Amino acid sequence: MPLESSRFRQEGFHDVKDDDARRSPPRPQARSPRKSAAPARQAPVSARAAFPFSAIVGQAEMKLAILIAAVDPTVGGVLVFGDRGTGKSTAVRSLAALLPRIPVVEGCPYNCDPASPQGLCPRCGAQATGKSPKAKLVPVPVVDLPLGATEDRVVGALDLEKALTRGEKAFEPGMLARANRGFLYIDEVNLLEDHLVDLLIDVAASGENLVEREGLSVRHPARFVLVGSGNPEEGELRPQLLDRFGLSVEVSTPKDLADRIAVVRRRDEFERDPAAFAVAWKREEDRIRKRIVSARERLPKTNVPDATLEQAARLCMRLGTDGLRAELTLIRAARALAALDGDADVSTEHLRRVAPASLRHRLRRDPLDEVGSTSRIERALQEQLGP
Ligand SMILES: [Zn+2]
């Protein structure tokens, strides 16, 4: 892993990499990994080499799920289960890299949006003077949450240095601050402690991180798309946690010969000359970027007809999913898909396409038996919505 991450760093692969959490004990003076970045990491955006999203071979369901979450983060995160080396983390980084850069308040550790005075962090809120703060454009952040991360590193904690040297009670923001308005990626989420997973899902759902400890009380914006990946053979997520993720997809090594050849060829071309590869895929990347941007604009106006709501409810009743979270996710995912497709109304077809990802992890009995769950959903779809 250290080898791999240093290579990524040379390529400027990561937008934000939590190096601090890998060291122990935590070093309060390392406030921002960006400031201590190696020169190569400060390369201009055009030189940053993320594998183009559109060049990812196959994995259609995973790509669609991440696109949907990028259009409507309230679907509640994406779980990606499957073999190693199937491009799970590449897909997240690639999508973040293709999204338009976001304006943030300069110097704000929470990536506050200068255009939205509501939902500012305490720091920007206190400095608000009525005129717009100084802004800069930054890439959409992708924060990696390593398995060994302590709760303090994740949510933020008392700044020990300030406390010890100056006697000040100051808050040192954690990974949730840096992930605001971006993606939080957890590799092997099934091996993370349950209470941390619970906490992350809570914050992702509310869009706010509230820290109360050691006499501190800090509330700051933390809106991010949570993406968890894992290999079910290495450990399972409790059903209660599974159910709290919006979408769940399974990826596997391509079985098709032509796909395997394409994967290797593209990866090789990319690694030999990332810049030329980026140029070759630019048109496709631009097309997807436009699709996401217009879907976000269209989303609030996208209509869910009563008939579609009824179909979603019937489908969930037929499958016996608990509570209403399944229906809510199904409808939200279908609406985001309709917006991506440029359609004004959510149709049966949209429901059909997002139903497996929205429901397969919510079925009782063998929630991780993806194949079984998927065929149960396919059967219910046929019965309820027709062939
Ligand atoms: Zn701020």
Q: How does DSSP assign 29-72, residue by residue?
A: T---TTTT--GGGG--GGG-----GGG--S-HHHHHHHHHHHH-
My answer on whether 354 and 317 are in the same domain is yes
Distance (Å) from CA 106 to ligand 1 centroid: 9
Domain endpoint, select from 279, 312, 327: 279
Catalytic entry in 181, 325, 362, 379: 325
**pLDDT tens-digit profile of 165-174?**
877 778 889 9
**Predicted confidence (pLDDT) at residue 109 exceeds the cutoff of 80:** yes
E strands present in the chain: 78-82, 102-105, 135-138, 142-144, 156-158, 171-173, 182-186, 208-213, 216-221, 224-230, 247-251
- What confidence tens digit (pLDDT) does each residue in 44-65 have? 434 457 899 999 998 899 999 9
Query: Which two three-digit tokens encode residue 161?
Result: 């240095």
Contacts of 281 (CB under 8 A, 6+ apart): 52, 54, 55
Confidence at 36, pLDDT banded by 50, 70, 90? very low
Gap between the Cα atoms of 21 and 154, Å rounded: 9
**Would you say 8 and 271 are in contact if contact means Cβ atoms under 8 Å apart?**
no
- Tell me which residue range forms the domain holding 9: 2-101+139-279
The answer as to whether 118 is a domain residue is no
Give the integer Cα–Cα distance in Å for 81 and 370.
9
pLDDT class for 28, splitting at 50, 70, 90? very low
Are 336 and 229 contained in the same domain?
A: no
Q: 375 alpha carbon to ligand 1 midpoint, in Å?
A: 46
pLDDT band at 366 (very low <50, low <70, confident <90, very high): low
Q: Would 132 be classed as within a structural domain?
A: no
Q: Report the distance separating Cα 158 and Cα 136, nearest Å.
A: 28
Same domain, 95 and 208: yes
Would the pLDDT of 370 be above 70? Answer: no
Final residue before a domain boundary, out of 249, 279, 309:
279
**24 inside domain:** yes
Q: What is the pLDDT of residue 290?
A: 96
- pLDDT exceeds cutoff 80 at 267: yes
- The closest of 295, 290, 287, 299 to 340, measured between CA atoms, is 295
- Contact partners, residue 155, CB within 8 Å, separation at least 6: 174, 176, 199, 203, 209, 211
| Residue 39 CA, ligand 1 centroid: distance in Å | 26
> In the predicted model, is pLDDT for residue 132 greater than 80?
no
Query: In this structure, are 19 and 158 located in the same domain?
Result: yes
pLDDT at 140 over 60: yes
CA of 118 from ligand 1 middle (Å) equals: 11
Same domain, yes or no, for 170 and 94?
yes
pLDDT digit string, tens, across residues 170-194: 888 999 999 999 999 998 888 888 8
CA of 114 to the centre of ligand 1 (A): 8
Q: What is the mean pLDDT of the chain?
A: 82
Does 278 score more than 90 pLDDT? yes
Number of domains in the chain: 2
Higher pLDDT, 124 or 328: 328
User: Is the distance from CB of 41 to CB of 12 less than 8 angstroms?
Assistant: yes
Please identify every residue whose CB atom is under 5 Å from ligand 1, which is an ion. Answer: 108, 110, 112, 121, 124
Same-domain status, 187 and 335: no
271 pLDDT higher than 90: yes
Between 240 and 320, where is the model more confident? 320
Which pLDDT score, from 0 to 100, does residue 21 have? 38
Q: What number is the average pLDDT over the span 231-239? A: 76
Residue where one domain finishes, among candidates 229, 251, 279: 279
Distance 177 CA to ligand 1 centre (A): 9
Least confident of 21-35, 206-220, 326-340, 346-360: 21-35
Does 25 have pLDDT greater than 60? no
Which of 77-86, 121-130, 271-280 has the lowest average pLDDT?
Answer: 121-130
User: Is 267 in the same domain as 234?
Assistant: yes
Pick left, alpha or beta for residue 126 (phi over 0 → left; psi -120 to 50 → alpha; otherwise beta): alpha
| Integer Cα distance of 387 and 381 in angstroms | 8
| Whole-structure pTM value | 0.81
Do 267 and 304 have their domain in common? no
Average pLDDT over residues 12-41: 37
CATH number at residue 55: 3.40.50.300
- Residue 215: Cβ-neighbour burial (10 angstroms; 0-12, 13-18, 19+): exposed
Residues 347 and 242 in one domain: no
Based on the domain organization, do 210 and 64 belong to the same domain? yes
Q: How many A from CA of 125 to the centre of ligand 1? A: 7
More confident: 21 or 320 = 320
Task: Categorize the per-residue pLDDT at 142 as very low, low, confident or very high, splitting at 50, 70 and 90.
Answer: very high
84 CA from centroid of ligand 1 (Å)? 37
> Could you confirm whether 291 is annotated as catalytic?
no
Would 160 be classed as within a structural domain? yes
- 259 and 303 part of one domain: no
Q: Quick one: 263 and 303 in the same domain?
A: no
Count, residues in the chain? 387
Residue 53: which of 92, 107, 17 has the closest Cα? Answer: 92
Write the secondary structure of 84-152 as one string of H (helix), E (strand) and C (coil).
CCCCHHHHHHHHHHHCCCEEEECCCCCCCCCCCCCCCCHHHHHHCCCCCCCEEEECCCEEECCCCCCHH
Judged by average pLDDT, the poorest of 12-16, 199-203, 220-224, 380-384 is 12-16
